[in-house]
Structure 1
Amino acid sequence: MADEKERRSWATACARALGLGGIAISMAQELVWFSDDTSARLEDLQFVLGQGPNRLFRAGTEAREVPDISRLLAQQWPQFAAEAEELGIAALFVWPVRFGAVRVGTMTGYRRTPGALTARQSAQGRLLADALAQHVLTRWPAGGDTGEARGSGGAGTVGLHRAEVHQATGVLSERLGISLAEALDRLRAQSYASGTSLSDTAHGIIERELRHDPT
């Protein structure tokens, strides 16, 4: 318990050092590290909706700033902008997470008030993203004995936080006789329609499967 509290405090300190409410890291569409529940929920929304600032990194590797969501994202990604504002988010900032010269993911931070980062904060964000890349990759789940690498974990822990999402996708694919891609789309749609997180939706499907209940 002490270790978990220490990791959570460290994760929160990383966000505060940048003047942010929270930060999260995703790699290959997998949420692997976050400082707080709001950060995790923001990454969840981008994954569920296929919208959000992470999509800006399909081209380019520079940090991206969205200092005012209501002004800059409402037209491009209206669903994501509306959901983010429901969470009380006013600004988003995204840095590439790199291992050497290779971009392996993104680090997304949020603020509850609009406004751009200072040049110093932006530069510190790049340094933190590089440091966290090393932290995450050296603790990446590899089937070992570390508790950090299993399950959904908590803030500040390294793990495959969407493990149940992948499992539930497989359950739906087999049960409905559809492709994994279509099963994931259905899971995303169910999550969005019910207003529950993707991981909670997936957990419910797995629990019903274990009880042999029909959906």
Structure 2
Amino acid sequence: MTVEPRDAHGDAHGDEPRSYGLPGQGRDRGAGHDSEAGPQPLREQVRAAEVIAAGVRGAEPGEIPGKLCVAAVELLPVTGASVSLRSDGMPVQLSASDDRAARMSDIQATLGDGPCTSAGATGTTVYATDLASERDAGRWPVFAQQATAAGIRAVYSMPLGNDTVCVGTLDLYRDVPGELTRREVRLAELVAGVMTVALTALPRDEEDGPEGGALWLSGLAPAHDEVYQAIGVIMVQLGVDSDEALARLRAHSFARNRTALEVAHDVVRHHERFDRD
């Protein structure tokens, strides 16, 4: 169950799923209860635009997603942010505002479960407002346990893309439980919209299709390239297909309290081997 945010007065948004288009493309229809005609929303939008512009000024294209994660933390009541790209098998973490946010992203990729993977799969925003609650812990039990152990109590995952293609997710982390207000959701959507533009503007192989794919991702997140190399090695070692190899990598990593990235690094360098049962 997706938990919809509430405004400062406690009125829930409508039950319609959120699309993941750019701001203004059919999103947050319930926000009409808030008056946006006054000067305060305009000032907030101007400040947000200034923070984003200052953050990305002079940055190379590949650096912009990380700069936007930092801007999200400055603009919103969150302690960290990460951006992951969708790919076959595993989300690919592209950037994060800090080490803890990066770790949360890696944990979700390793488990194949969490708000990030749910948002990417459904194309709708996912709000985990209290990972210690029965509601959220019941949905992602292992991720919730690991996140709360690391001091993260809430996660807000927003798909990036348009009405037909989800290219990734913007994931916001907070160390206290709670919902975002409508104003905060609008700011988060603004960052997500700019992030979408930044991702779709990144250089890609001319042979790659508009939806992206392995060729587009290759080189953008070098550490994650090792995961796919490791999957190939495991396929040969165990004589299994790619899905089974990824499942074995995830299970092996979880059993040793490591991330899939860490184990993949060792597999590629022949420091770790998968043997047939």
**Residue matched to 2:126:** 64
Q: Distance in 1 between matches of 2:72 and 2:144?
A: 25
* TM-score computed with the length of structure 2 as normaliser: 0.63
Is 1:191 aligned with 2:249? no
Question: Is 1:16 matched with 2:78?
Answer: no
CA distance in 2, matches of 1:96, 1:37: 22
Q: Give the CA deviation at 1:201.
A: 0.9
**1:26 has 2:84 as partner:** yes
CA distance in 2, matches of 1:75, 1:89: 16
Is the Cα–Cα contact under 8 Å of residues 65 and 93 in structure 1 kept in the other structure?
Answer: yes
Name whichever of 84-93 and 35-44 sits farther off: 35-44
Q: Matched residue of 1:24: which SS?
A: strand
Query: Which one has the largest radius of gyration?
Result: 2
Question: Could you tell me how far apart the structure 1 residues matched to 2:117 and 2:273 are?
Answer: 36
Among 48, 57, 74, the alignment partner of 2:110 is 48
**37 and 67 in structure 1: CA distance in 2 versus 1, 3 angstrom threshold:** same
Matched residue type, 2:160: V
CA contact (8 A) 2:68 2:195 kept: no
Q: Per-residue deviation at 1:3?
A: 6.6
5 Å matches for 1:48-197?
A: 48-57=110-119, 58-59=121-122, 61=124, 63-71=125-133, 72-99=135-162, 102-140=165-203, 142=205, 159=221, 161-197=223-259
State how far apart, in whole Å, the 2-side matches of 1:140 and 1:79 are. Answer: 36
**Alignment partners' CA distance in 2, 1:195 and 1:42:** 13
Unaligned runs of 5+ in 1: 144-148, 152-157
Q: Give the percent of matched residue pairs that are identical in Structure 1 and Structure 2.
A: 32
More strand by share: 1
Aligned residues of 2:253 and 2:259 also touching (Cα < 8 A): yes
Q: CA RMSD in A?
A: 2.7
Number of equivalences: 198
Distance 1:167 1:118, change over 3 A: same
Q: Distance in 2 between matches of 1:100 and 1:131?
A: 16
Contact 1:32 1:136 in 2 (8 A): no
